[in-house]
A and B are shown apart, each in its own frame.
Chain A
């Protein structure tokens, strides 16, 4: 993370992130970017609302009854849009009390709510950088949050757009290969949020490929014992979780470039010593 002198900052970055987490756009409004904040609010809460309507408020009915509790949904991607998720739980809870067929828009609605949560995390990163960016800064390089979104959407795409082509190919090959191998081992049974609520939460972090394959093959019926289902589920979930590392790698380099500092961040795990100005 690149540090900027306090006198050059627009506001407190932590406050901006927390505000965004609870209410999309609130962090930007706090930083004085009211129009951007209002637009972000409309888009992200709109996505969540459409998802809510399509699912009939039954997304968390996917959770087994014994898993339902106050903290059970915090590992779901919807938790990235915390205010909306809490409202959802308050109003709809864990869905219908009686076993009834899910509505036809269940998959799409569930994905829209999840995407709203993930997109809000990117918006929070945007707000964090907006708070720390020098007031005199003029935009040049692509915004890090945008490149992070690309890296989520398609593993390797963020690196590719940064011009780091070899790394892009390696990341894409490793993560997509792991995911496809996992899907083959699980015979497609990993492509279902209803069957594997928490594994799915990790797998969805792989972005477009996971969602596209689920849209195509998610309805496959399981007709017998799947020998390597555990390995397949683990591979699919790990591919998504490891994509978070790839997204952070993209974001770290993009942040350096966006703030106009090319010193290199050294060990990403220990912060961004290279970017701290003298």
Chain B
């Protein structure tokens, strides 16, 4: 057991997967010699060699496309997309092929690849290094989309994603990469090749990040911590007990956990950094209204990024939901 940050947790997962199963390989831009621009793949080249830890040309459609071919042959590629917006050139490969290979081969050959995408703002990055494109993938049938929030979840979910037969879009909130450390048990939560659906369960379960009963805030990625901060303030300033649920799985949604929390609290708010329209907030809100509307005291609220390009970083704190905006959004739901 050691105290790891998220980057180290992800690195541990890759190391454990590669040690357990020699079909696993890592590929992407600058992943081998430098260990990735965020160092998530550091040390793997020395341990596993350049046949399994591959610096590729700067070519995202080529990276994802060749990874699909490798998966058809039976390997388990883990692809790194260097930054969120860099995934757009690979969009066709992901939507048209990765997402449909199982369907097009009557279940025989799912494209068992993991596409890791560091995403989101808050790190003072240059233009086009801070997008939150997860809803684009949530909308594509055939993909699983997950987002870890803690070092332990990062390790466990990445191992589960590698073990899982369906293609997984693995969203890594880059603001959380080095935000804190946590004890990560050395023992892996599952062994490759996968045993009996453990991976599926891990990949589809929301978790409670903070207990509370007057209001529930649903979020994922870097805004989970902000929701927890906002909850503390609501407690101090208003005596409100706010629960925070970390969605973890963006597709499929853990509908049962979401509706249970909404029913129990009676008031709900969804918080994310991605733009508002047709974002995850819209889906979570619909799921709640469709299923448990009569348990609600107020309509489900949303605090999100805006329907604008992610700003130059001088203004990113205006764009990203702040604790102030979250508190204000929560009060609107509470005072409805």
Partners in one complex: no
Interface residues of B (CB under 8 A from A): none
Q: State the A residues within 8 Å of B (CB).
A: none
